[in-house]
Amino acid sequence: MWNDRFAVDELAVSIYSTRDDSGLASAGEASGIIRAAIRNDGRAAVVFPAAPSQNEFLAQLRADSSIDWRRVTAFHLDEYAGLAASHPASFRRFLRERLLDHVPLAAFHELAGDAPDLDAEADRYQRLLAEQPPVLAALGIGENGHLAFIDPGECDFHDTRDVRVVNLDEACRRQQVHDGSFQHLEDVPRRALSLTIPILLRTPHAVVNVPGSAKRQAVRDALEGPIDPCCPASILRRHAGAVLFLDRDSAALLRRNSV
């Protein structure tokens, strides 16, 4: 399996030939972190991503029989405002179908985007995260450089909240159409609940899986541009426990890319 490894500031970067190889490697990294936490603490809380770009990662992770899933508590990064858990585009449904229905988790704490009071739901979820701080955040990067649903216009590297209601910009909403989650832009919700940048930075480990040509500009901006809220993912360069997994397509615009 071909691999190129280097660091950008504090962020480790690993490039693989294919998205399958990248997904396998990122799942292996996550598995090691989860198993170490269970050995040391008897349990592991993990934040899981929900997006088509994470399909290979989640498939490899759920097939890993070395993880004692009964000791794993799952959180997730974000959820659309107004969508029930049964909606085809719901991130809760996505995670159930691709991970949670396959492994015997200790618990799955759902972020209820259809709660009648979104601010109260953000408060509730923030309390749950404080009660069992995650050891690992598994992430992707959006086409506009977002982390979770923190788009450039919503990004605050010093946010005082760990979970909040956010507005989704048009580039983010268009990505949801590109991904096949919605048929038309007007179908995509304009608001969501999301974990914020500070809690992602406080989480000791981050495995960031970013395959595909649609992400190549965002990857370049994150690694070769300034560390700036205009590209939320650029803050990963200040996370010493983060590893970014790319494939040839997502790494194609990097100046140092040797593939």
pLDDT in tens, 94-141: 999 999 999 999 999 999 999 999 999 999 999 999 999 999 999 999
User: Into how many domains does the chain fold?
Assistant: 1
Residue 259 has pLDDT above 50, yes or no: no
Kindly state whether residue 92 falls inside one of the protein's structural domains: yes
Kindly state whether residue 252 falls inside one of the protein's structural domains: no
Question: How are beta strands 78-80 and 191-195 bridged, if at all?
Answer: antiparallel
Residue 161 has pLDDT above 80, yes or no: yes
Question: How are beta strands 205-210 and 242-247 bridged, if at all?
Answer: parallel
Residue 75 has pLDDT above 50, yes or no: yes
pLDDT tens for each residue of 228-257:
999 999 999 999 999 999 999 999 999 965
Kindly state whether residue 94 falls inside one of the protein's structural domains: yes
In this prediction, residues 26-53 reach a mean pLDDT of 97
**Helix (H/G/I), strand (E/B), else coil: 250:** coil
Q: What is the pLDDT of residue 257?
A: 53
Q: What is the pLDDT of residue 258?
A: 43
Rounded CA-CA distance 226/138 in Å is: 23
Instruction: Spell out the residues 6+ positions from residue 213 whose beta carbon is closer than 8 angstroms to its own.
Output: 249, 250, 252
The residue range of the domain holding 207 is 3-240
Kindly state whether residue 187 falls inside one of the protein's structural domains: yes
Kindly state whether residue 91 falls inside one of the protein's structural domains: yes
Q: What is the pLDDT of residue 179?
A: 82
Kindly state whether residue 60 falls inside one of the protein's structural domains: yes
pLDDT category at 218 given cuts 50, 70, 90 is very high
Kindly state whether residue 14 falls inside one of the protein's structural domains: yes
Q: One-letter amino acid identity for 135?
A: V
What is this structure's pTM?
Answer: 0.95
Q: What is the pLDDT of residue 1?
A: 63
Kindly state whether residue 259 falls inside one of the protein's structural domains: no
CATH assignment at residue 37: 3.40.50.1360
User: How high does pLDDT run on average in the chain?
Assistant: 95
DSSP states of 163-190 as a string?
EEEEEPPHHHHHHHHHTTS-SSGGGS-S
